[in-house]
Each structure stands twice: as structure tokens, then as C-alpha cells.
Structure 1
Amino acid sequence: MLRALIFDVDETLVYYEGYDHREWYENWVMPALRKHGIELDYETYKKTVTGNLPRSYIERFGIDHVEFWQIVDSVNLEYRKKMAELGRIRPFPDVGALKELKEMGLKLAAVSNASQECTEFVLDLFGLRKYFDVVYGKDYSNLDGVKPDPYLVKKALKALGVAPQETLMVGDSHHDVLAGKRAGMKVVNVTRFGKVEGADYYVKDLWELVELVKKMMGGQSP
């Protein structure tokens, strides 16, 4: 029986107009790191974010890795605030589906690889925080526990008090699919940016997700 859904946030519920990952790192993060005497090129940084290198890897550059990620996340929060001022963070037009899912009696969680502050900021920006029973950003006590690792997803399952087989993971990326599968869940890929291999279900938007959930709760085979 379906009791809960766990959502990714960025690119699933909200998007950033004109966002370019390399540009963000080089224009926003690198200057902040240099103030702390840290030089880290984009390609190495990208490998730590994609999981090709552990997040603790940057300790070989002579800085505590928790401190490093706190610097990155504080810059990310400033970036999000600036983009919000410019009207360049936007909710997808189908986020109203969250209200319908909540009214169906489902528990909802939001799980992001961004920091807790950054995650709550964008949810609050569009009044979406109220739909979620639990919101988790990255955990500084386990920085390698970000998606595709299932750590944050399992943390959300425990907080919601639901089993993996009672829950759907909903996201846009390969990392979301892997994290959900590794936590023992069925995964729904929202195909705004194309299909990701390995998901159990594919929907074009969140309204299609509502229809899928209705079928599942009605005992029909979707």
C-alpha cells in the first residue's frame, strides 16, 4: 500500500533560469574559496559533486572538508537569494499537484543534495514547505551521504515512519533513481529533461504523477 512520496527539489519542483554549473562555480564559489586561501579547479570540484571522488577529497588541499562545504553552501545560499531577487528561480507550473497528493492522505518528504538552508529557502520562496512533513538537505555529519547514496532517503523514510515498499521516490536525475533503488524503493522519473534509465515509472509532470498515484492507491496496475 502506498503511504508516502519522497521528492527531489531542484529541477523536480523548481528550476533556475539560465543556470550553468561551471559558471556558478567559477563566478561565485572560486572567489569565496580564494578568500580562504583555497584553490580548487572546477573539474576536481565537479568530481566530488558527482560522486567520482569523496567529498572529503579536498582535505589533501589542506582544509577541513566540513568547513569547505560550509563555504560552498553559504555561497550557494547567497546565489539563490540573488536569483530570487532577479526572478530567476521559478516553480514548475505543476507544483500545485503537491496539494492534491497531500489531500489524498499521503506523507511527503523533500530530500536535496543542497544544504538544509538552501533547500528550505527555495521551498519557502514558493510556499511549498507546508506540503512536506520532512525536509532534509545534506548532513554535515555524513557529507558523502548525499544522493546517489541512500543515506538521506533512508533518513526521510525513518522520519516519516514508512517502509521503502510503501513509498515512491520522485526525481529528475540519475542520482535520484540510484538513491531510491538503493533504499529499496520504487522510483518515478519526472522526464522534464529526458528519461533516466532504471526508474520504475515515467511521468511527464507532477499531474501525471497524481494520476499514477491514484491508480496505485486504487489497487489497479499502472
Structure 2
Amino acid sequence: MLKGLIFDVDETLVYYEGYDHREWYEKWVMPALRERGIELDYETYRKTVTGELPRSYIESFGINHVEFWKIVDGVNLEYRRWMAERGKIRPFPDVDALGELKAMGLRLAAVSNASQECTEFVLNLFDLRKHFEVVYGKDYSNLDGVKPSPYLVEKALKALNLKPREALMIGDSRHDVLAGKRAGMKVVNVTRFDKIEGADYYVSDLRELVGLVRKML
């Protein structure tokens, strides 16, 4: 019996107009790192984000990895505020479906690889926070627990008191699909940008998700 849904946030519920990962890192993050005497090239950073390298790999450069990610996340929050002021963070037009899903009696959670503050910031920006019983951003006590690790998803399941078979993972990326599958869940890929192999269901947007969920219930 389906009882809950666990959502990814960025690119599933909201998007960032004109965002370029490399440009963001070089223009925003690198200056902040240099101020603290830290040099880290984009390629190495990118690999830690894609999961090719663990988040803790930064330690091999003699950098405390918890401190490093706190600097990055602080910059990310500044960046999100800057983007929000310019109207460049937008919710997808179908996010009102969250209210419908909740009205069906489903329990909702959100999990993100961004920090707790960054995640709460964008959800609050569009009054989406109210739909979720729990929201989890990256956990500084387990930085390698970000998706594709199932850690955050399992944490959300536990908080909702649900078994993996009682919930669906919903996201746009390979990381979301892998995290959900590793947590023993069925996964819905929202194909806003790409179709990710390995998902159990595919929907083009959250309106289509409502239809899928109705059939399941």
C-alpha cells in the first residue's frame, strides 16, 4: 500500500534560470576558497559532486572536508539569495500537485544534496515547505551520505515511519534513481530534462505523477 512520497528538490520542484555549474564554481566558490588559502580545481570538485570521488576526498589535499563543504554551502546560500532577488529561481508550474498529493493522505518528504539551509530557503521561497513533514539536506556528520547513497532517503523513510515498499522516490537525476533503488524503493523519474535508465516509472511532470499515484491507490 502506497503511503508516502520522497521528493528531490532542485530540477524536480524548482529550477535555476541560466545556471551553469562550472561558471558558478569558478565565479562564486573559488574566490571564497582562495580567501581561506584553499585551491581546488573545478574538475576535482565536479567529481566529488557526481560521486566519482567521495565528498571526503578533499582531505587528500590537506583540507578538512567538513569545513570545505560548509564554505561551499555558505556560498551556495548567498548565490541562491542573489538568484532569488533577480527572479531567476522558479518553481515548475506543476508544483501545485504537491497539495493534491498531500490531500490524498500521502506523507511527503524532501531530500536534497544541497545543505539544509539552501534546501529550506528554496522551498520557503515558493511556500512549498508546508507540504513536507520532513526535509533533509546534506548531513555534515555523514557527508558521503548524499545521493546516490541511500542515507538521506532512509533517514526520511525512518522519520515518516514508512517501509521502502510503502513509498516512492521521485526525482530527475541518476543520483535520485540510484538512492531510491539502494533504499529498496520503487522510483519515479520526472523526465523534465532526461530519461534516466533504471527507474520503475516515468512521468513528464507532477500532474502526470498525480495520475500515476491515483492508479496505485
**TM-score with structure 1 length normalisation?**
0.97
Q: How does 1:15-30 map onto structure 2 within 5 Å?
A: 15-30=15-30
Report runs of 4+ in structure 1 exceeding 4 Å deviation: none
Q: How does 1:109-188 map onto structure 2 within 5 Å?
A: 109-188=109-188
> Deviations along 1:167-213, whole A, 9 cap, x unmatched?
00000000000000000000000000021000000000000000000
Cα deviation, residue 61, structure 1: 1.7
- Percent sequence identity over aligned pairs: 82
> Deviations along 1:15-58, whole A, 9 cap, x unmatched?
00000000000000000000000000000000111111111111
Q: How does 1:208-219 map onto structure 2 within 5 Å?
A: 208-217=208-217
SS in 1 for 2:209: helix
Matched, 1:34 2:39: no
**Residues 38 and 61 in structure 1, CA contact (< 8 A), matched pair in contact too:** no
> Deviations along 1:100-138, whole A, 9 cap, x unmatched?
000000000000000000000000000000000000000
SS in 2 for 1:93: coil
1: CA distance between counterparts of 2:12 and 2:30? 27
In structure 1, the gaps of 5 or more residues are: 218-222
Q: 2:198 corresponds to which residue? A: 198
SS in 1 for 2:192: helix
Q: 2:104 corresponds to which residue? A: 104
In structure 2, the gaps of 5 or more residues are: none
SS in 2 for 1:37: coil
Q: How does 1:78-93 map onto structure 2 within 5 Å?
A: 78-93=78-93
Cα deviation, residue 60, structure 1: 1.9
Q: Note the aligned Cα RMSD (angstroms).
A: 0.4
Q: 2:9 corresponds to which residue? A: 9
SS in 2 for 1:192: coil
**TM-score with structure 2 length normalisation?**
0.99
Q: 1:207 corresponds to which residue? A: 207
1: CA distance between counterparts of 2:87 and 2:137? 23
2: CA distance between counterparts of 1:37 and 1:62? 11
Q: 1:220 corresponds to which residue? A: none
